[in-house]
Amino acid sequence: MKAKLKQSNSSSSILIGSFLWISSIQYFVVQVLVAFSFTPRYSISNNTISDLGNTVCGPYGDKLVCSANFLAMNISFIILGLTMLFGALINQKHSNTSKLSSFGFSGLALSGLGTVLIGIFPENSISSLHIIGAGIPFLVGNISLVILSRSLKVGKYFSIYTFLSGFTALIALALFLTQNYLGLGIGGIERIVAYPQTIWLISYGIHSLIVQRFK
């Protein structure tokens, strides 16, 4: 009886962890909606993701930004960070218990805290905290994916996908920091740094649900 109850609790936790990470899709939905109210017209190439959360209308750097729904974007950052954090803690508990995988999940949890910082401190507020917040998932989060690709028991093809997600983002981060945008613009290359990690969270959540379903 105790064994069945323990198994039931474990299954429930896995479902919660999976749905937390799958809910990261809200981040992409909110970006699209907020971009529609951005003036002048939002450019995926020339505008960074953080421009959507900028709280003032006017010159910022070498461009004009005005995000009418900046609050929605910053709340989205905070929600994403919290789901990353708690999803990582739950998924770590139910993954294999190797030190390497624990280190990888811990890195994603830390990345969640960094993402929360992005929402709390928009780019035009305390820029140093915003940069630190973005730097954690950009560097630590993507290194964590490379680590998890070597330690998670998720099958050959998902492991390869995990590695490529982290590795590609890290290469893009190096290009981003050296201002080599490969014709994609600052916004385009930033998305190659940021998006693979979030897409991986969603994919891992779906993968976990499928595995749980046919367990």
Ramachandran region of residue 14, left (φ > 0), alpha (ψ -120 to 50) or beta? alpha
DSSP bridge partners of 58? 65
pLDDT of 113 above 90? yes
Phi/psi for 25 (5° steps) reads: -60, -25
Residue 5: pLDDT band with limits 50, 70, 90: very low
Reported confidence tier of residue 101, pLDDT bands at 50, 70, 90: confident
Band (pLDDT 50/70/90 cuts) for residue 215 is: low
Mean pLDDT (the chain) is: 91
More confident residue, 93 or 123: 123
Three-state SS at 18? helix
The residue ranking higher by pLDDT, 113 or 5, is 113
pLDDT at 2 over 50: no
Query: Mean pLDDT throughout 171-175?
Result: 98
Spatial contact of 87 and 20, defined as CB atoms under 8 Å apart: yes
Antiparallel, parallel or unpaired: β 63-65 and 58-60: antiparallel
Percent of the chain, pLDDT > 90? 78
- Per-residue confidence (pLDDT) for residue 6, from 0 to 100: 47
**Span 161-175, average pLDDT:** 98
Domain span holding position 160: 2-213
Q: What is the pTM of this model?
A: 0.91
- Say whether pLDDT at 184 is over 80: yes
Q: What is the mean pLDDT of residues 83-99?
A: 84
pLDDT in the model for residue 135: 97
Asked whether residue 155 carries a pLDDT value surpassing 50, the answer given is: yes
Residue 69: its pLDDT value, please?
96
Total count of domains within the chain? 1
Residue 114 · residue 134 · CB < 8 Å: yes
pLDDT in tens, 26-72: 999 999 999 999 999 999 999 999 999 999 999 998 899 999 999 99
